[in-house]
Structure 1
Amino acid sequence: MATTNIWQQFKSLIPEGSKVIATITALNGNGTSQAQLRDGSVVTVKGEFVGVGQKAFIQGGEVKGAAPDLVEYEVEV
């Protein structure tokens, strides 16, 4: 049954969870990879299709695709 609640329809258009960019540090050979986040922490994520040393988009504990290797700036306001 389709919902008539406009807010619920809008929320269904937005993907769940935040998307982060991480550097792939290792391919584990079992369908997972090790990824290093910007804060230095290392996480295990699903997916092995982005090479070691490359940047990847991570969402919901899964590699969603390759990310461009752009320069990072940190600005304090």
Structure 2
Amino acid sequence: MATTNIWQQFKSLLPEGARTIITITANNGNGTSIGTLRDGTVVVVKGETVGVGEKAFVQGGEVKGAAPELAQYEVEV
């Protein structure tokens, strides 16, 4: 049965969980990897599909794929 709640319909269009980019620092050999966020926080995530030193998309604690190496800028407003 389809819902008539507009908010629920809108939420169903959005992906679950936030997607972040990390730099892979180690593949553990047990299906997990260690990565570093931009702020220096170290995290352990599921998946070893991205090589060490490369950037990866992470969603829900799992590597979703390789991320492109793009320039990063900071701007103060």
Aligned twin of 2:7: 7
Moved over 3 A (4+): none
- Which secondary structure state, in structure 2, belongs to the residue aligned with residue 69 of structure 1? coil
In structure 1, runs of 5+ residues without a counterpart are: none
- Which secondary structure state, in structure 1, belongs to the residue aligned with residue 68 of structure 2? coil
Deviations along 1:9-59, one digit per CA (max 9) or x if unpaired, are 110110122111110000011111001000011100011101110000111
Note if 1:69 corresponds to 2:64.
no
RMSD: 1.0
Partners of 2:76 and 2:56 in 1: CA distance: 25
- Which secondary structure state, in structure 2, belongs to the residue aligned with residue 12 of structure 1? helix
Alignment of 1:43-54 (within 5 A): 43-54=43-54
Partners of 1:2 and 1:33 in 2: CA distance: 40
Partners of 1:20 and 1:75 in 2: CA distance: 20
Q: How many residues align?
A: 77
Aligned twin of 1:31: 31
TM-score, normalised to structure 2's length?
0.92
- Which secondary structure state, in structure 1, belongs to the residue aligned with residue 7 of structure 2? helix
In structure 2, runs of 5+ residues without a counterpart are: none
